Amino acid sequence: MKILGIESSCDETAAAIVENGERILSNVVHSQIDIHKVYGGVVPEVAARSHIEVVNPVINQALSEAGLSWSDIDAIAVTYAPGLIGSLLVGTLAARTLAVIKQKPLCAVHHIEAHIYANFLDTNDPTWRSPEFPILALVVSGGHTQLMLLHDHGDYELLGQTRDDAVGEAFDKVAKIIGLPYPGGPSIAQAALKGDSLAYKLPIPKVDGYDFSFSGLKTALLRSVQANVGVRFDFPSTQLASKLNDQQRNDFAASFQSVAVEALVEKTKKAFGEYQPKSVVIAGGVAANKVLRQKLAEALPIKIQYPPTYLCTDNAAMVASLGYFYARQKNFFNPLELEIFPSLSITKAIWQKDV
């Protein structure tokens, strides 16, 4: 079964074709990073406008790169939640229209659930294997930080989540404070390579159960930067970066990354001990972080799984993979009625059926 996936929930316009949930036949991602870089973050209206401009060419490119025509496509899968309103609207409208015109069944998938399914994609890596249920999933993206237990396709338990900032959001905000370019995650990871993670002592967030918190860590970093450059706590964070030298910047990046990763690893290790899953996967943009991968691998007795970097950040192959498992169960939506849900939680979204 060949599924065309469409993703436009934030600042990537993407289309991909995946066979049987595993085999990537094409994977096209049009990133808006360069457009938003000048603003230091995603500007929703600008994002929506860019999606409109490229969504059709991106879909056509996915078909042509796979060497397929519409008659080869069995179903369309699109991200309908969560994300930016304008961005979600463009992708879902394109998918709904194509589903009607080309007479294809339509699967509507949750973006966070799709991130987890990036781990089901075969990337020609000889060490790759499909995750086995029960799966413990650490979801770490720009908008979400969650620990989930997946008993089977569509049968999930949310063990915990962030009570404030997502970890990716914290990477992005800290990068801004210390003067590293957007997106902050990769910039901090790179700067940290040249920094000392013990240079500045930052507190590990303490939260009950399997929940996380990152806003206190971000504030602690801000206070530490202010103290180290010799200004008061009310000195504007936007003017701090120019007061840091490169070594301080790299040391702050390394110190922050180390504590953020430790918080993620600590909770994942605890959940592994309690639930004894068969597989542990990391998903979402922050899963690209090499220190996180390495520390988690060291902390757990089984091999952890994570997608290659280009499948950690937003893409449509993960949407098409998840779409296959929906389609297999004929879990389709009526294209004339599909709505978007900008802030829908994964536990409310999964495997609902309205036709």
- Residues near Zn ion, by CB under 5 A: 141, 314
Look at residues 247, 295, 290, 237 and name the one whose alpha carbon lies nearest to residue 268: 295
Residues 86-125 that bind ligand KG4 (CB under 6 A): 115
Cβ nearer to ligand KG4, comparing 172 with 251? 172
Helices 184-192 & 167-178 angle (0-180, nearest 10): 70
The CA distance from 305 to 161, in Å, is: 20
Within the chain, how many helices (H) and strands (E) appear?
A: 12, 10
Residues 297-316 that bind ligand KG4 (CB under 6 A): 313-314
Per-residue tokens: 243: 């007061």
- Please report whether residue 165 would count as binding ligand KG4 according to CB under 6 A: no
- Residue 352 Cβ, how far from ligand KG4 at the closest point, in Å? 21
Q: Using alpha carbons only, what angle is made at residue 264 by residues 261 and 265, rounded to the nearest 5 degrees?
A: 85
Residues 120-149 that bind ligand KG4 (CB under 6 A): 141-143
184 makes contact, choosing from Zn ion, ligand KG4, none, with CB < 5 to 8 Å by partner type, with ligand KG4
**Contacts for 71 with CB less than 8 Å, ≥ 6 apart:** none
- The total number of residues written for the chain in this structure: 355
Cβ nearer to ligand KG4, comparing 34 with 337? 34
Total number of residues binding ligand KG4 (CB under 6 A)?
Answer: 20
- Residue 45 Cβ, how far from Zn ion at the closest point, in Å? 20
- Please report whether residue 84 would count as binding ligand KG4 according to CB under 6 A: no
183 makes contact, choosing from Zn ion, ligand KG4, none, with CB < 5 to 8 Å by partner type, with ligand KG4
Whether 112 and 141 have beta carbons less than 8 Å apart is answered as yes
The CA distance from 262 to 241, in Å, is: 25
Site track for ligand KG4 across 271-290, x = CB under 6 A: -------------xxx-xx-
Cβ nearer to ligand KG4, comparing 104 with 144? 144
**209: alpha, beta or left? (left if phi > 0; alpha if psi -120 to 50):** left
Cβ nearer to ligand KG4, comparing 42 with 73? 42
The CA distance from 156 to 151, in Å, is: 6
Interface positions with ligand KG4 (CB under 6 A): 10, 115, 141-143, 168, 171-172, 183-186, 189, 284-286, 288-289, 313-314
